[in-house]
Amino acid sequence: MKWALAAIKFIACLALLLMAPLSPAADDALRIGSKRFTESYILAEVLAQTAAPHLAVSPVLRSGLGNTAIVYEALRSGSIDLYAEYSGTIAQEILKSDKPAAPMTREAMNAALAPLGLGVAVPFGFNDGYALAMRADRADSLGIRNLADLAKHPELKLGLSNEFLGRADGWKGLAAHYRLTQSPTGLDHGLAYDAISARQVDVIDIYTTDAKIDSLGLRVLSDDGRYFPRYDAVVLYRLDVPARFPQAWAALQRLEGRIDERAMIAMNARAELQGQGFDAIARSFLSGNAVVAQGAAPTGFAARLFGPDLGRLTRQHLLLVGASVGLALLIGVPLAIAVSAQLRLRAAVLGLAGLLQTIPSLALLAVLISWLGAIGTLPALLALTLYALLPIMRNTVTGLGEVPVGLRQAATALGMTKSQNLWLVQLPLALPTLLAGVRTATTIAIGTATIAAFIGAGGYGERIVTGLALNDRNLLLAGALPAAALALLSEALFETLEWLIRRRRR
């Protein structure tokens, strides 16, 4: 159909327009990504600040891009140029090595990555491995010091990060190696520390450079069976980066070996325990200062809520919501009109739209990143549009079905064409029901748009994602409350609009 092709073209054009102000041209800026945990944020800042003086255009940071699958797909597709990764993750998750206990040399990694257009360089100098930990008092009472001891206590509750549960070098292989029979519960990595502190779980997975291990009195269980490989921090990059940014790349090479475990734990502690900003921590490290100036990051709730990023995040959130609902209207209303009179086709189309609603947001975003070869606004916009289709289409069909047959026949008797009957009689009568669908779609889009921050699309979700990584309740609320306020405001606007429509009809 012509309208469908036009709608698709409109989606692409609008997405490109939305993305334009958020990032510079691909060849002009060095794009640095990070995963969604404290250390990755800090290392991304270290990389960006090291490269910045040697670039014509300031580097672009794409922080908090979710788990390994998302940030690696962003690198592979060219949406980012490099990010800090770990040797064990590269070997097991990216290259799918079948020998988790055997360390893979950097030369072997580069040989395997070269056909993908990727390479490994700049080992920072520290190993941040996976491990399991439990409260020291609990471990002492049960006589647990290593992972083999853990197998003797199937009654213990394990709270493990979802990524660890799904990794090739994660829970499944670990359980088989040590014959662990516990049934773990999936937890966000940052929230797991709260859970073990509150004694809701007994064992969690940790990164060995986490700052909260000592502060919470946790015991890291010895990997006596040597299951985990080394996770040396390195830079995973696209092979064209040294040629595109030769001076910046030379500067990044000088980071090799400069960060040891103690330095990384100290930087993580400044972020998680003292509430200091990632940029200030990186700047302090690069300048050689041992202490970050106090007050580098606001810790009070009011300061978080009304921070300098509020205007930018609000604009991004409104753009995502407004554009996605608008696109869903352009696609959903004509499609609903086209199928409303055909029962089987209508059921099939609405069923497909309903099926899209059942796909988890992050899964849909990951699929779209793979298909589109891009992160940021474009996949987020398409995902939000797909989620907004069902309420708009269903309410359009319902509204048209509620128009009395007699009124349709009367319009035909007056000499109206089918098009005139539709636009002058049926759609005006179906408008209140259609508007209710738009209202629902808008509310869904406002809430779901917070997930878009996991792929670098901005919005209030940026604060939520960072707050989860730092386990910072103030920052979490500073992202959640504006989103809730926006939802309430949209409800008030739609309520006013519906009141005006009813008043005009009376």
Strand ranges, E, within 21-141:
31-33, 60-62, 82-86, 118-121, 130-135
Q: What is the pTM of this model?
A: 0.77
Q: Fill in the amino acid letter for 66.
A: G
C-beta of residue 11 within 8 angstroms of C-beta of residue 381 = yes
Sequence-distant (6+) residues with CB within 8 A of 235 are 47, 82, 83, 84, 85, 120, 121, 122, 252
DSSP state of 133: E
Distance, in Å, from the CA atom of 478 to the CA atom of 309, rounded to the nearest integer, reads: 11
pLDDT at position 20 is 45
C-beta of residue 268 within 8 angstroms of C-beta of residue 38 = yes
Q: Which helix (H) or strand (E) segment is 206 a member of?
A: strand 203-207
Query: Which domains are delineated in the chain?
Result: 27-127+231-297 (3.40.190.10), 130-220 (3.40.190.120), 310-505 (1.10.3720.10)
DSSP assignment string, 205-242: EEETT-THHHHTTEEEPB-TT--S---BEEEEEETTHH
Cα–Cα–Cα angle for 57, 282, 235, nearest 5°? 70
Coil, strand, or helix at residue 92?
Answer: helix
Coil, strand, or helix at residue 135?
Answer: strand
Rg of the chain over all Cα atoms, to the nearest angstrom: 26
Classify residue 409 by burial, with Cβ atoms within 10 Å: 0-12, 13-18, 19+.
Answer: exposed
Q: What is the mean pLDDT of each run of 10 residues along the chain (506 residues)?
A: 44 48 57 93 96 95 85 90 94 80 82 95 94 94 94 94 86 93 88 90 93 90 91 96 96 95 93 88 85 49 86 93 94 92 89 88 80 83 93 93 85 84 87 92 93 85 84 86 94 91 78
Distance, in Å, from the CA atom of 317 to the CA atom of 483, rounded to the nearest integer, reads: 8
- Tokens of residue 396, six digits: 């359009």
pLDDT at position 124 is 96
